[in-house]
Each structure stands twice: as C-alpha cells, then as structure tokens.
Amino acid sequence: MNDAKNILSRSPQVIIKNVDKVFSSGDKEVIALKEINLTIYSGEFVVILGPSGCGKSTLLNAIAGFSLPTSGKVYANGEEVALPGPDRGMVFQEYALFPWMTVAENIAFGLEIKKLPKQTIREKVDTLLTKLQLLEFRDRFPKDLSGGMKQRVAIARVLALDPPMMLMDEPFGALDALTRRTMQDELLRIWLEFKKTIIFVTHGIEESIYLADRVVVMTYRPGTIKQIVPVELYRPRDVSSPQFISLQKELTSLVMEEQMRFRNEEMREPGRDVSEREENEQVT
C-alpha cells in the first residue's frame, strides 16, 4: 500500500482556529481546550493522542458539533460548525447500535430517514454488508454479535450516509488485542477504498503509529497541542521495525510527561479514586 502523501496539494477539510473550551461545574472551571489551532486535509488520517482527561473527546465533539467551543471557531467542509451534520459521521466506542434492529436495519436507518427509495437502500446496504464482510450477519441482532462485528456494523452505518469524513472516539478501545488489530487493518482498507478523511481519538500509542498520517499529541489540562508527529512509514506498518519502535519511544516520552501531570493532579484532588482510573488509563 503506497501512501506517500503530499498534504500540501490537498484541500483543508477541517480548520480549527483558536479554540478554547471551558467547562464550569459549581465554583470549579476546567479548561478542557486552550488555543487549539489545527488544519486537517481531505483524505488524511489524523490521530489525536493523549492521556485520559486531556480533551480528546472534547475536541472531537467540537468538530462533530455536539459541543461547541467556548471561543474560537471550527470549520468543516467550508462551513462553520454549529450543529452535528451528515458530513461528519461519528463512531463511538460503545457502538451505539439500535438493539431492536437487525444488522441490515441498523445500516439502513440513516437512509430510511433520508427517505431514499427502497430499492436504493437495499442496494446500498447489500454493498456495505459485502464490503464489510457482514453478509451472513444481515438478519442478526446486535446482542448476537461480537464486539468487532458490532463495530463493523457501526462503521457501515456511518458509511451508508457517505460522509466525507469519519470521526472516531476510541472505537476499538473495548476490543481484545487481536480483534483490535484486525479492525485497524479493516479501517485502513475502508479509508483507502472509500477515500474518507478520518479523525481518530485514542490513548494507544502503538495504535496511533499504526494508523496515522499525523499524530496530534495533546497536553493534559489545559488541553493544548503539544506536538504534531508525522508518520511517514509505508503501510501495512511493521510494528517491529526500527523506525516504528523509534517513533514509539518518541511518542511514549511525550505522552508519559502528560500522563504524569494527570496522575499528579488526580492525587492532589481529594476524594478521587486514582487506582481505579489508572487501571483503565495505562499508556499502551
């Protein structure tokens, strides 16, 4: 897979300008994002990386239009983001499938809302079922699927609406290591075949290098961009290659600095159970 990219020749698809996001609860304020400036180009695979609480989801939600910045602006596909829109498909860790619908019905849902002709819906759903290797599961319900399968359905449901970009918030976080790798490969295939722009949130360092054209490393509180690390390795990437390992070391040290700040801050706040969160938030 040759993925030499010249992003300079591409058009900007998301422009984030001077974005701040402050959450207030009671007399406390949390500066979740501070002075974020970032441009993401069409067809790029960008990973947002950082420890728990550094503002990854807040940034993704600002792009998605779920939660707008306190100040600054986000533009997506040439328009200022004010609401969620069909041009920005979102995939969550929790799959967000309708349990009472079959796989095919879940994928068809957005197309039904758009009131497309029945025949068109059937054709689109069949194509996606085939491309995502879900054909034999078409009449199953989500409860009968594995985590990886559920996430495939969630991705197919987003692809059905053919958005130019997909926003993914730790989509493989709940999967075991082997299924996660399979899904990463599947996602890279989808990314190339469907020519999407992908903005992918994770706290997995290896995952970020395996997937990204550029890794955006965030600082912990306030959430700023600490560094943007380009990954110029051919795909499929060899996780045991010296270049991969060297990038892993570089990113680990960047993220560990922030992880330590997260840890210190949590320790300072009385009444918090650090040990339980730490278990989930180990740098991987």
Ligand X SMILES: Nc1ncnc2c1ncn2[C@@H]1O[C@H](COP(=O)(O)OP(=O)(O)OP(=O)(O)O)[C@@H](O)[C@H]1O
Distance CA 95, CA 97 (A): 6
Q: Which stretch binds ligand X (CB under 6 A): 49-57, 124-132, 142-150, 209-217?
A: 49-57
Closest distance between ligand X and the C-beta of residue 56, in Å? Answer: 4
* Residues 98-137 as x/- pattern, contact with ligand X by CB under 6 A: ----------------------------------------
Distance from C-alpha of 47 to C-alpha of 207, rounded to nearest angstrom: 9
Interacting partner of 65 out of Mg ion, ligand X, none (Cβ under 5 to 8 A depending on kind): none
Tell me how far apart the terminal alpha carbons of the chain are, to the nearest angstrom.
26
Q: Which of 43, 55, 110, 171 binds ligand X (CB under 6 A)?
A: 55
Q: Is 93 in the site for Mg ion (CB under 5 A)?
A: no
Q: How far is the CB of 93 from ligand X (least distance, A)?
A: 9
Q: Site mask, Mg ion, residues 12-51, x = CB under 5 A?
A: ----------------------------------------
Q: Which of 157, 180, 196, 203 binds ligand X (CB under 6 A)?
A: 203
Are 92 and 154 in contact by the 8 Å Cβ rule? The answer is: yes
> Do residues 200 and 188 make contact, with C-beta atoms less than 8 angstroms apart?
no
Round to whole Å and give the CA distance between 212 and 246: 15
Shortest gap between Cβ of 282 and Mg ion (angstroms)?
15
Q: Total residues contacting ligand X (rule CB under 6 A)?
A: 13
**x/- contact string, 56-95, with ligand X (CB under 6 A)?**
xxx-------------------------------------
Q: Is 197 in the site for ligand X (CB under 6 A)?
A: no
The pair of structure tokens assigned to 73 is 């602006």
**Residue 54 binding result from Mg ion, ligand X, none, given CB thresholds of 5 to 8 Å by partner type:** ligand X
Pairing label, strands 88-92, 165-169: parallel
**From the list Mg ion, ligand X, none, partner contacted by residue 101 (C-beta under 5 to 8 A by kind):** none
d(CA 194, CA 14): 18
From residue 183, give the alpha-carbon distance in Å to each of 133, 171, 178, 211, 234: 12, 9, 9, 11, 18
Instruction: Please provide residue 10's backbone torsions phi and psi, each rounded to the nearest 5 degrees.
Output: -100, 165
Interface with Mg ion (CB under 5 A), residue from 13, 51, 57, 180:
57
54 belongs to the binding site for ligand X (CB under 6 A): yes
Beta bridge partners of 21: 33
DSSP alpha helix (H) spans, the chain: 56-64, 103-113, 118-131, 147-160, 177-194, 205-211, 242-268, 274-281
Distance CA 143, CA 241 (A): 39
Shortest reach from residue 76's CB to ligand X, in Å = 18
Report the residue from 43, 53, 163, 204 that binds ligand X according to the rule CB under 6 A. 53
Site string for ligand X, 18-37 (x = CB under 6 A): -----x-x----x-x-----
Residues making contact with Mg ion (CB under 5 A): 57
